[in-house]
Amino acid sequence: MLGPVKYLVKKTMQKLSAAEKKKVRAKIDAFDFSAYSRHLPNSFVKNYASCVGRDFKLWAQIAVFILDDIISDDELQVWIYVSEVRMSHILFY
Long-range contacts of 73-77, Cβ-Cβ distance < 8 Å, separation of 24 or more: 75/12
pLDDT at 2: 83
d(CA 36, CA 7): 23
pLDDT beyond 60 at 33: yes
Percent of the chain with pLDDT over 90: 76
pLDDT at 31: 96
**By C-alpha distance, which of 10, 20, 32 is closest to 67?**
20
pLDDT beyond 60 at 91: no
pLDDT beyond 60 at 26: yes
The ranges assigned to domains in the chain are 2-92
Mean of per-residue pLDDT scores for the chain: 90
